[in-house]
Amino acid sequence: MGFSKDHRDRLLTGVIGLAIIFLVVGYSSKPIFFVFILLVNFFALKEFYDLVSTSKISRFVGITVGIILSGGFFYLEEPGLFACIAGVGFSFCMVKIVTVKNSANQNSDLKKHLIGIFVIVFFLSHLIWLRGLDKGRLLVFFLLTIIFSGDTFAFYGGKIFGKHKLSPKISPGKTQEGAILGLIGSILGALVFAFFFFPESSCLVIIFLAGIAGILGQLGDLWESVLKREAKVKDSGNCLPGHGGVLDRLDSLFFSAPFLFYVIIFQERLL
């Protein structure tokens, strides 16, 4: 595996992105962090509608509703009700992944713009609530460490060791070896992070959280792959050189962010 231009672009974009995330998550005020998530949701929704090719009216309505929904996470806090909604939405998305087929009906279902509003905005906006918790900044960095470590291990591990396809119908490039190494990477990243920032936490708890979050991250990646498969494109966009689009970079957070938030609030002494 040579050090190609794509790899150089990927590394450079990653370094710049990490610097921005570090400053925004670690040092910004609550309103600024909200605006940051709002912008992320906006660009992610735009990419989503580019993939599913909905009408201009659907795009306008979807993005508008998405912005309003993001605002709800800034002003409201109803975790119990939202947990139920998140569970129903996650179950629906899992059905989409396991039943993907070459059919017009499947394509039509995926084009319902409410899916984008729900999965992208509703799930990703849980980062606003997560950061607002006690040790919230550390929790967001903890989640990002799990996801980015897993993505890195899966990407390079799959290229080096990948032989058996994970889900050829959804994403021919993903391998079982890459998925396993990605999960290992998520757990290792979480353990290293916890060693420095959550030293009082149980290793078993860290492994549990990282393992589930890592699996959910890969499921989020597969969910987005379904959209790209239907649109017959490799990446959701090209605004992040070496990484594709915003959806490509953040899809692993869609299911993992709500998971970590609800686990923490329902078990406050976990970390």
Span 37-87, pLDDT tens digits: 999 999 888 888 888 766 777 778 778 878 887 887 887 765 656 656 656
Segment 140-147 shows an average pLDDT of: 97
Instruction: Give CA–CA dist 133/269, Å, rounded.
Output: 12
Number of CB atoms found within 10 A of residue 119's CB = 24
pLDDT of residue 1: 46
C-alpha Rg value of the chain to the nearest Å: 18
Model pTM?
0.85
d(CA 177, CA 43) in angstroms, rounded, equals: 32
More confident residue, 153 or 75: 153
Distance CA 78, CA 72 (A): 10
Residue 138's contacts (CB-CB under 8 Å, 6 or more residues apart) are 197, 198
Query: Region 228-237: what's the mean pLDDT?
Result: 75
What pLDDT digit, counting tens, does each position of 163-219 carry?
A: 888 887 777 788 999 999 999 999 999 999 999 999 999 999 999 999 999 999 999
Predicted pLDDT at 86: 58
Q: Which of 71-75, 82-86, 233-237, 267-271 has the lowest mean pLDDT?
A: 82-86
Give me the residue spans of the domains in the chain. Answer: 5-266
Taking each helix axis as running N to C, give the angle between helix 203-231 and helix 79-98, from 0 to 180 degrees, rounded to the nearest 10.
50
* Residue owning tokens 């609550």: 30
Please give the pLDDT value at position 140. Answer: 97
Give the strand pairing for 171-175 and 165-167. Answer: antiparallel
Model confidence band, residue 241 (pLDDT cutoffs 50, 70, 90): low
| Cα 160 to chain centroid, rounded | 24
What's the CA gap between 52 and 32, in Å, rounded? 30
- In 3-state terms, what secondary structure has residue 145? helix
Residues 6+ apart with CB under 8 A from 78: none
